[in-house]
Structure 1
């Protein structure tokens, strides 16, 4: 105790000799020199973002994929699903490209876009490759197969909101992340009237999706299942994991002694579930505010768990801020919990922020992938493939076609020689007709009736020459 008092006195004596320090604190009635020396055991409000290159590299590929999707939608909107290059350069400004950047961008991804010359108009056209079309069909099938799960996700999303309703426009903006089809208003909301209903709010002139009935069986958070799994695998103390979250700090994150104590206290702090209504509680106390802050962490955690890829942009989370009682400064709030979430600024020159759920990823890949996620990753695989691989594929296709043409030519000549031998050894036109029928049946539907008459006349002339 004496040593502590001596340190305080030395600190005050040293600063009393500094006139700037005296001028700054002489009019401050709340100044306490002990407070400046003590270390807080609460989580700091402002923290620097520590980069995790695994997520940033993921977003670098995602940035290219988003641009590719813009061109894909533009090409698929055309009647023949192909667009002239001059028209594409004219419409490039709609998707954020200049006139000359569009053509250069298409040439970078030959596995997705194919540029060819129109046989009649003699101008360059662009269309999707066969691999890209198969990827789109695979994604559509995966999206159609998981409609029932999309209904469950939308029900849980509405259960977390105040009043069990959300704006239709806000859900439409986040439909891709939630795995909802583009026409979800008709294929999901109106198709299941036992779960949802559309409401026109006269006071705000907006449409809302409202949940018909709250289902307690769906009110189980993903973090609760994760806690149960950790408790079974590791055998941790039930009191330690009752209100805790899975923490995985990024590489290079410095954890001080006071921060470790603050995290230990925060992990054991009870909170209200995101599916529990808090309108009946008194939220004016400090303890209630701490619980609401942890409830906001649980709400964002559950929102990310409802997405297909366990990630969503920060701007789309902000649309649900008022309906789910989230804090105003979302980015600063998420940076306080870098062991649970990761905020990436890659994409759109740092203006776009993507929030990842750290526990759902391992080495840049989803731990529990679903069919829709795998279908979308196939497009990313086509994007990162080397252009040299596309050139090799074209050469292999050309080689196979030429080889197939040679084989078909040899088969055709063999059939013609057999037919000529039958004409030479036969006793009439009937045998020649049988040989001609065999030739036509083997070669297939590519030979029409006019060609059959020409072959028959040629075979008859060959028979006359043999008799002469």
Structure 2
């Protein structure tokens, strides 16, 4: 698929953000939400980081606070960071009904109304589920969900849907169609010059829409109807995610549960107007085109908004750290005398450059008023006055 700069930018991963988010979670799980630096240093290996943990944490003073107690260094979240954590938790509490609906929708799209817990965990952050959703949500809604293990092994634990809610059986495409008073159909985001792709899309969209919540009984694998159902299912899955994107590899883990084709990436590449497929970071990712305007999400989930605030706080701390070190290095050079020598050299070079520039101008600027020696004296006074 041809690369599109805006959508490639939307797929960019901020490695620093991900590492700091993991450090934040480690601190939150620590006793009294305080983690010894020595403990974080050991965790750095699992975060695929090198160097000293202390040096990393000092780069983000707006996020983390480091202090010494009894000759041992500790780290805790800053007050501003703690406020963001509280805001995130408040949003998770208020969005509990949304999480319940998302989980129910996932189970309703599956073949046997149940999904493996380990597989759900691979995508739980994409759907915004809290880490403790098995304890926070599933037991609380025992009339809808239950955890089962038919083999008795922990790895085979599944969440099963007990009762279906008809109100949840409406896809995002059907909601939009009802709102606009038309029949359900896919939207296509392609340039008008892509004539053949438009023709293929119109041919595909001409057949009736098949809801991903409809059972696959009677649908033949590889048929147009089955492909349409698969495209609708992936569309619905992506619409349920926070960032309207997901790893194709992780989606393929649900191939049997969702009756998806073996070569899912091939099917998605056939529909460039609906999906954008990228191999950025050597990971195949599919993005829902209609969810983006350029590189920006059109509708941002409240959890996305608070996570963006975390990124802004992180950048603010990094900027503060870089500025402080720049001033410290400047002061060191000033004390050594290197700064004065370089500044004088820069001034002398600038004087000569300006003089040469005026010499090149015929009757313009200072060239038509002073001769070369007078211009040099003028610029010397000008720069000396500026330095004072």
The bucket for the TM-score relative to the shorter chain is: 0.7 to 0.9
Which of these residues, 105, 127, 133, is aligned with residue 178 of structure 1?
127
Determine whether 1:360 maps to 2:291. Answer: yes
The reply to whether residue 283 of structure 1 matches residue 220 of structure 2 is yes
CA contact (8 A) 2:144 2:164 kept: no
**TM-score with structure 1 length normalisation?**
0.62
Which of 196, 221, 227 is 2:171 aligned to?
Answer: 221
Which ranges of structure 2 fall in alignment gaps of 5 or more residues? 325-388
Distance 1:254 1:105, change over 3 A: farther
Q: Deviations over 1:95-125 (max 9, x none)?
A: 2222x16445434433323344x1531x544
Structure 1 gaps, min length 5: 1-48, 233-237, 394-468
Q: Is the 8 A contact 1:150 1:179 kept in 2?
A: yes
| Alpha-carbon distance, 1:129 to partner | 2.1
CA distance, structure 2, for counterparts of residue 336 and residue 92 of structure 1: 41
SS where residue 114 of structure 1 aligns? strand
CA distance in 1, matches of 2:149, 2:100: 21
Find out whether 1:152 has 2:101 as its counterpart.
yes
Report the Cα distance in structure 1 between the residues aligned to 2:132 and 2:322, rounded to whole angstroms.
38
- Larger Rg computed on CA atoms: 1
| Counterpart Cα distance in 2 of 1:388 and 1:66 | 18
Are the aligned partners of 1:61 and 1:384 in contact in 2 as well (CA < 8 Å)? no
Alignment-derived partner of residue 127 in structure 1: 76
Q: Which residues of 2 match residues 89-168 of structure 1 at below 5 A?
A: 89-98=41-50, 100=51, 102-116=53-67, 118-121=68-71, 124-168=73-117
The separation in 1 between residues aligned to 2:36 and 2:95, in whole angstroms, is 36
| CA gap 1:53/1:68 in 2 versus in 1, 3 angstroms | farther
**Further displaced range: 202-211 or 157-166:** 202-211
**Is contact 1:341–1:357 with CA below 8 Å preserved after alignment?**
yes
1:380 to 307, 311, 315: 311
Summarize the Cα distance change of 1:203–1:185 in structure 2 as closer, same or farther, 3 Å threshold.
closer
Query: In 1, are the aligned partners of 2:173 and 2:184 still within 8 Å (CA)?
Result: no
Q: Distance in 1 between matches of 2:270 and 2:83?
A: 43
Q: Any conservation in 1 of the 2:37–2:54 contact (CA below 8 Å)?
A: yes
Question: 1:5-404, aligned counterparts within 5 Å?
Answer: 49-98=1-50, 100=51, 102-116=53-67, 118-121=68-71, 124-202=73-151, 206-229=156-179, 231=180, 242-249=183-190, 256-279=194-217, 281=218, 283=220, 289-346=223-280, 350-385=281-316, 387-389=318-320
Q: State how far apart, in whole Å, the 1-side matches of 2:52 and 2:4 are.
A: 31
CA distance in 1, matches of 2:54, 2:286: 32
Note if contact 1:246-1:359 (Cα within 8 Å) is conserved in structure 2.
yes
- Taking the aligned partners of 2:59 and 2:232, their CA distance within structure 1 comes to 42
Give the superposed CA RMSD: 2.8
Q: CA deviation at 1:162?
A: 0.4
Please give the TM-score of this superposition, normalised by the length of structure 2: 0.74
Residue 325 of structure 1 deviates from its aligned partner by 1.0
Q: 1:312-364: CA deviations, max 9, x gaps?
A: 33333122221111122223332222322223444xxx243443222122243
Aligned residues of 2:245 and 2:286 also touching (Cα < 8 A)? yes
Equivalent residue, structure 1, for 2:352: none
Please list the CA deviations of residues 22-71 of structure 1 after superposition, one character each: whole Å capped at 9, or x if unmatched: xxxxxxxxxxxxxxxxxxxxxxxxxxx22233333344354332121122
